[in-house]
């Protein structure tokens, strides 16, 4: 199993964001799917230790994530955030940024091409790109680190239908051409179906279903039972 989360609790500002969440994410393309505020981004950030749980365990390939060197882990398990955050300079400067930090010269053409951007993008100023193009530069920047796993937080949330289709094609292509695993966050049922083999459905900080995409997405999720017994009047009406 690529990742396993076991009874994970995480609170912020007095709010229990994750409430004993357990999930398994196999290699290949998997997806965290659920409504806004359910804890998808929080769960994703646990996987490469951008945050640590208050309680519970996160395993990467069978070992607790905290046993790994954190910088090495983040290079291997690379998160692409929901909103593009490029540095000044050219597209090539952005893509080469990570590898150059470790003192290597770097050719940005291959990651750009994998991310669906042709070589003419390399010298374009990064601040004069559409959001969809920026999203793909973010992807190229992550690919330049030669990750084993990409964590993608709603990679098409800011895009229109055409740009969404282009990014989805890029991701499908990446799956065919590389062995990189993908964990995708989405609140779109259709996107989960199109891109993922395995789906973990999250609702109010817990896993409510997990399994092969087709079965899991089709499930009706019941509302949480009320902790209080029904009032006398309501029971009367139910009869
Ligand atoms: N650092 C934080 N401080 C306070 N509250 C937080 C923090 N991080 C997350 N939360 C809260 O935790 C809940 C889950 O947040 P999270 O970002 O994981 O949801 P999400 O499922 O990704 O939602 P969306 O689909 O809107 O991105 C939300 O109610 C959010 O306000
Ligand atoms: Mg989110």
Which element (helix H / strand E) includes 8?
strand 3-12
Residue-level pLDDT, tens digit, the chain, 239 residues: 999 999 999 999 999 999 999 999 999 999 999 999 999 999 999 999 999 999 999 999 999 999 999 999 999 999 998 888 899 999 999 999 888 887 777 888 889 988 889 999 999 999 999 888 998 999 999 999 999 999 999 998 878 888 888 889 989 999 999 999 999 999 898 999 999 999 999 999 999 999 999 889 887 777 766 655 544 444 444 43
State the closest ligand 1 atom to the C-alpha of 32, by its place in the atom list counted from 1.
21
User: Phi and psi for 182 in degrees, rounded to 5?
Assistant: -125, 130
- The preferred substitution site among 21, 41, 43, 153 for testing ligand 1, maximizing ligand atoms within 8 Å of CB, is 41
Q: Whose CA is nearest to atom 12 of ligand 1?
A: 17
pLDDT at 32: 97
Distance from C-alpha of 193 to C-alpha of 173, rounded to nearest angstrom: 16
pLDDT at 225: 65
**Quick check: 5 and 186 in contact, CB under 8 A?**
no
pLDDT at 236: 41
How far away, in angstroms, is 185 Cα from ligand 2 center?
Answer: 7
Question: For residue 9, what are the β-bridge partners?
Answer: 19, 55
Q: Where are the strands (E) in 26-153, listed by range?
A: 29-33, 55-60, 63-64, 77-80, 149-153
CATH architecture of 3-238: 3-Layer(aba) Sandwich (3.40)
User: Which ligand sits nearest to residue 187's alpha carbon?
Assistant: 1
Who lines ligand 1 at CB under 6 A?
12-13, 15, 17, 34, 36-42, 187
Distance from C-alpha of 171 to C-alpha of 173, rounded to nearest angstrom: 5
**Quick check: 8 and 202 in contact, CB under 8 A?**
no
User: Which ligand sits nearest to residue 11's alpha carbon?
Assistant: 1
Annotated domain spans of the chain: 3-238
pLDDT at 160: 84
State the closest ligand 1 atom to the C-alpha of 13, by its place in the atom list counted from 1.
4
- 104 three-class SS: coil
State the closest ligand 1 atom to the C-alpha of 15, by its place in the atom list counted from 1.
5
pLDDT tens for 144-192 read: 999 999 999 999 887 888 888 888 998 999 999 999 999 999 989 899 9
Q: What is the 3-state secondary structure (H, E, C) of 184-208?
A: EEECCHHHHHHHCCEEEEEECCEEE
Q: Whose CA is nearest to atom 2 of ligand 1?
A: 12
């Amino acid at each position: 199993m690529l990742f396993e989360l076991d009874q994970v609790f995480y609170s912020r500002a007095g709010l229990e964001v994750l409430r004993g969440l357990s999930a398994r994410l196999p290699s290949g393309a998997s997806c965290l799917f659920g409504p806004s505020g359910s804890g998808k981004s929080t769960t994703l950030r646990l996987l490469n230790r951008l945050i640590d749980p208050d309680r519970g365990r996160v395993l990467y390939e069978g070992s607790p994530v905290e046993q790994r060197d954190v910088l090495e882990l983040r290079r291997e398990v690379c998160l692409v955030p929901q909103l593009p955050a490029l540095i000044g300079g050219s597209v090539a400067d952005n893509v080469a940024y990570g590898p150059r930090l470790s003192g290597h010269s770097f050719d940005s053409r291959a990651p750009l091409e994998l991310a669906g951007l042709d070589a003419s993008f390399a010298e374009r100023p990064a601040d004069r790109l559409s959001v969809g193009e920026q999203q793909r530069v973010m992807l190229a920047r992550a690919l330049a680190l030669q990750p084993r796993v990409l964590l993608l937080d709603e990679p098409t949330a800011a895009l229109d239908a055409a740009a969404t289709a282009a990014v989805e094609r890029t991701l499908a292509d990446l799956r065919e051409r590389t062995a990189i695993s993908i964990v995708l966050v989405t609140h779109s049922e259709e996107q989960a179906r199109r891109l993922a083999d395995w789906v973990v459905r999250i609702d109010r900080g817990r896993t409510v279903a997990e399994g092969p995409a087709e079965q899991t997405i089709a499930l009706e999720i019941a509302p949480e039972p009320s902790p209080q017994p029904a009032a006398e009047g309501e029971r009367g009406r139910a009869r």
